[in-house]
Chain A
């Protein structure tokens, strides 16, 4: 069974702090995506990475795909209360078929 483990599972921080979320697997992925999900809604795509070692920035969010394409990280600089949500990574295990990570629930306190 292919698994995508995310850590930490829960994270509660103060506004203005930095944080990193990790997504790890023993499988190689042809692409990997990060999503954020609000309660009662579907996940919303944040970024897609496809090349080993790739780094993408989206305002205060920095995403990195591991060199071997088995892992990824999401770093948030100066977190804001609007960053609160469930962060999910998803790896493409075969053409157009994806598995999702175990999720990281982030709460940013004012």
Chain B
């Protein structure tokens, strides 16, 4: 079944920890995106990729990094988490002009 997956769904960690948020899609889409969203608020683009070995920073400044070694996989890494990183992180993929979103990872940094 074609879908987009994010793990973990919820994560609570202490300040200074390194974390990786996973995102995988089975639809073969070239384009993938990471958005950050505070509860009930708009989405802000933090990273995007148009294909393997292609990554760009979005409009919202972020201390995270991403990689795109395989078409289906687009992980996001925070080297040293801080309380200001507490938010919901949404991964999306696209083949044309419509985005398909994963369920999100809700991150809390204590």
Contact = CB atoms under 8 A, between A and B. Distances in A.
Contact of A41 (B33, B44, B103): B103
B40 A45 contact: no
Given A86-B40, A88-B42, A100-B43, A31 B102 contact: no
Contacts of B104: 40-42
Contacts of A42: 90, 92, 101-104
B53 interface: no
Contacts of B42: 4, 88, 100-103
Nearest to A33: B98
B4 to A, nearest CB: 8
A15 B4 CA distance: 33
Given A42-B104, A97-B45, A98-B45, A103 B40 contact: yes
A88 B90 CA distance: 14
A50 B98 CA distance: 11
Contacts, number: 57
B108 to A, nearest CB: 14
Interface in B24-38: 31, 33, 35
Q: Secondary structure at chain A's binding surface: helix, strand, loop or mixed?
A: strand
Contacts of A66: none
A69 to B, nearest CB: 13
Interface string A91-110: 01000111111110100000
A31 B40 CA distance: 24
A52 interface: no
Interface string A40-53: 11111100101000
Given A41-B103, A103-B42, 19 more contacts: A4-B42, A31-B97, A40-B103, A42-B103, A42-B104, A43-B90, A43-B99, A43-B101, A45-B99, A48-B97, A48-B98, A88-B43, A90-B99, A96-B50, A97-B48, A99-B45, A100-B43, A102-B42, A103-B41
Interface of A: 4, 31, 33, 35, 40-45, 48, 50, 86, 88, 90, 92, 96-103, 105
